[in-house]
Amino acid sequence: MKRSLDPNISTQTELGHLRDLLDDAERQVVVMHETSTGARDVIRAMDEIDRLLALVARSGVDVRAEEGRAEFLRRRLTRAAPGVVRLVQAADLSSTLSDSPTWQAILAAQAEQSRQRVRRLFMVGGPILAVLLTIIVLTLLFPPPPQANLTAIRRLAQEGQIDEALAPAPAEATRGPTDPEAALWIGALQTIKGDTAAAEAAWEEARRLIDDEMSFYFERGSALLEAGRPDDAEPDAPRLIGQPTTAPPGYLPLGGTGEARAGGPWARGGSHTGARR
């Protein structure tokens, strides 16, 4: 079969592939921690998304909506850079990403976050700094016992052991004071327990740690869906859908609520599906 000479056909095919990749990446970024190759696959998808964005844009097609979706994914990956790097390194996949621009950007974000932590440390007064350095040395010499992790919390929650899942959550939040995910899970677990005040306090802490209001709504909806609370996740979807740059990701929690009620993958804690554009 001869290839069509109409350049618009090729462009539309590439645009369709770009949108499919964005759909898949928006789903997989939520659950990339669940498989050993999840983070690597999302990073590779972002590389291809960026390549197709440039290619389609050069053909004169308006890809502002797709660029907004891609930027949303980039922000999520770079904001969670330390965690993404840990996932890739734990799976011993760093060497497979040596040619990835997205991976390099994540490493750069991780390094910058580390530098910012060091700068904040050295902004304190001399005596306070000496005390902090002493504490750091003592911590290195006498490390604390291993703390809870979100994998254990998720497992306990999915088994219906809410009190057991909630017990180590504050320790996890303390271990990662700049990571909003622990606060999100505390909010979801307190919602399950019916403690509205405690849930709201956790949501407020998560919102403080997340740099973007729309990202917070997406993350909160995802946590509630994963915890099996579709009715509580649903109200955040219209907030996302109402904004041009976050409308497509907004259909993910909206679609997830329907699946959860029907006993679909969201209800089983499996792979998530959302509305396609």
User: DSSP assignment of 39-90, as one string?
Assistant: HHHHHHHHHHHHHHHHHHHHTT---HHHHHHHHHHHHHHHHTHHHHHHHHHH
Task: Encode pLDDT of 184-212 as tens digits.
Answer: 999 999 999 999 999 999 999 999 988 88
Same-domain pairing of 157 and 262:
yes
Same-domain pairing of 100 and 155:
no
Among 94, 118, 142, the domain boundary falls at 118
In a domain, 264, yes or no: yes
CATH number, domain containing residue 219: 1.25.40.10
The helix or strand, by DSSP H or E, that contains position 106, with its residue range, turns out to be helix 101-122
In a domain, 57, yes or no: yes
Same-domain pairing of 154 and 261:
yes
The predicted model scores a pTM of 0.50
Eight-class DSSP state of 273: -
In a domain, 125, yes or no: no
In a domain, 46, yes or no: yes
User: What is the Cα–Cα distance from 232 to 194, expressed in whole angstroms?
Assistant: 11
Same-domain pairing of 111 and 164:
no
Per-residue pLDDT in tens (0 to 9) along the chain, 277 residues: 333 334 454 667 899 999 999 999 999 998 998 888 999 999 999 999 999 999 999 989 999 999 999 999 999 999 999 999 999 999 999 999 999 999 999 999 999 988 887 777 666 555 676 776 787 877 777 664 443 368 888 888 888 899 998 888 888 878 777 788 889 999 999 999 999 999 999 999 999 988 888 888 888 888 888 888 888 888 887 877 777 665 566 666 666 666 666 654 444 443 343 333 3
Same-domain pairing of 78 and 36:
yes
Same-domain pairing of 182 and 81:
no
Number of domains in the chain: 2
Task: Please give the share of the chain, as a percent, with pLDDT higher than 70.
Answer: 77
Contacts of 192 (CB under 8 A, 6+ apart): 157, 162, 227, 228, 229
Query: 184 lies in which domain range?
Result: 150-268
In a domain, 2, yes or no: no
Taking Cα atoms as reference points, which of 110, 88, 106 lies closest to residue 41? 88
Same-domain pairing of 112 and 163:
no
In a domain, 130, yes or no: no
Same-domain pairing of 74 and 181:
no
Same-domain pairing of 19 and 77:
yes
Taking Cα atoms as reference points, which of 193, 144, 142, 143 lies closest to residue 167? 193
